């Protein structure tokens, strides 16, 4: 159960980030040229690989309880950000994430930028793609390293992320446009729920307490977070309508 949950969480979180990175790479590629955009993608991927390769093995040297405490606290702070935004979007207090709109905005910015050649590359296209992939990829790396190390299996978390990468790359190559049909807002909600669930579970274990039934209590924590989120969406929707 925990392994499947771990892979699914890493897959969903990574898929969301890869869809966002794809939008930026496409915008840079279409407006500034594919060579620069793909060079930026490659350079960022290399930088991310170095970060994961350096941090992953180092974290496994830290005692598991200390690691779960730190990772649990980080995931809770990080996960609650996702969950809060997702609840605000679902209840109408925040605009929905729109990949087509972001694509159009990135394209407009890329078209308006001046032309500067460095190392034979269009520098704006390269940096736009590099920054986009690096920033979205850092979130993936953060999730893979924290999930994997706290559960003692970076490989499984990396597997979930790798499947997401391959899937998004294949669909992106096929569609050659922003993946507007991906239910990104729903995915972000699911990721917020999962990050918060793991955060509650590991921070409690890291603080020295023990869940009844150990890992078997994870589904109960998940159910609690889902009910809490659904209740929050319902309350905020009613409140918004009452004040409308």
- Residue ranges in contact with other proteins by CB under 8 A: 69, 72-74, 76-78, 80-81, 83-84, 87-88, 91, 93, 138-139, 142, 196, 199-200, 203-204, 206-212, 217, 221, 224-225, 228, 232, 236, 239-240
Shortest distance in whole angstroms from residue 99 CB to other proteins: 21
Are 17 and 140 in contact by the 8 Å Cβ rule? The answer is yes
Residue number, 88 or 182, with CB nearest to other proteins? 88
Alpha carbon distance 161, 105 (integer Å): 27
Residue number, 50 or 166, with CB nearest to other proteins? 50
Burial class (CB in 10 A: 0-12, 13-18, 19+), 76: buried
Taking the CA atoms of 190, 192, 195 and 201 in sequence, report the sign of the dihedral they define. negative
Residue number, 64 or 163, with CB nearest to other proteins? 64
Residue number, 31 or 203, with CB nearest to other proteins? 203
Shortest distance in whole angstroms from residue 86 CB to other proteins: 11
Residue number, 103 or 142, with CB nearest to other proteins? 142
Alpha carbon distance 115, 106 (integer Å): 16
Q: Which residue from 98, 125, 115, 107 is spatially nearest to 42, judged by alpha carbons?
A: 125
Other CB atoms closer than 10 Å to residue 69's CB: what's the count? Answer: 19
Shortest distance in whole angstroms from residue 169 CB to other proteins: 24
Q: Which residue from 190, 173, 189, 187 is spatially nearest to 22, judged by alpha carbons?
A: 173
Residue number, 151 or 196, with CB nearest to other proteins? 196
Shortest distance in whole angstroms from residue 11 CB to other proteins: 21
Tokens 């409690």 locate to 204
Alpha carbon distance 146, 237 (integer Å): 33
């Amino acid at each position: 159960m925990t392994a499947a949950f771990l892979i699914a969480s890493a897959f969903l979180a990574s898929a969301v980030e890869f869809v966002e990175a794809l939008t930026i790479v496409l915008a840079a590629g279409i407006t500034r040229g594919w060579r620069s955009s793909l060079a930026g993608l490659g350079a960022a991927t290399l930088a991310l690989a170095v970060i994961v390769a350096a941090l992953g093995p180092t974290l496994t040297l830290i005692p598991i309880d200390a690691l779960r405490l730190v990772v649990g606290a980080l995931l809770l702070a990080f996960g609650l950000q996702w969950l809060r935004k997702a609840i605000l979007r679902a209840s109408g207090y925040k605009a929905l994430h729109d990949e087509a709109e972001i694509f159009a905005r990135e394209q407009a910015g890329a078209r308006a930028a001046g032309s500067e050649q460095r190392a034979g590359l269009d520098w704006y296209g390269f940096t736009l793609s590099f920054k986009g992939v690096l920033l979205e990829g850092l979130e993936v790396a953060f999730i893979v390293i924290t999930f994997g190390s706290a559960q003692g299996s970076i490989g499984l978390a990396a597997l979930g992320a790798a499947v997401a990468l391959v899937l998004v790359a294949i669909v992106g190559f096929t569609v050659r446009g922003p993946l507007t049909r991906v239910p990104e807002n729903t995915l972000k909600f699911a990721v917020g729920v999962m990050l918060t669930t793991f955060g509650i579970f590991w921070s409690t274990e890291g603080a020295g307490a023990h869940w009844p039934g150990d890992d078997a209590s994870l589904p109960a924590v998940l159910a609690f977070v889902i009910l809490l989120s659904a209740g929050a969406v319902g309350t905020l929707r009613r409140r918004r309508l009452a004040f409308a």
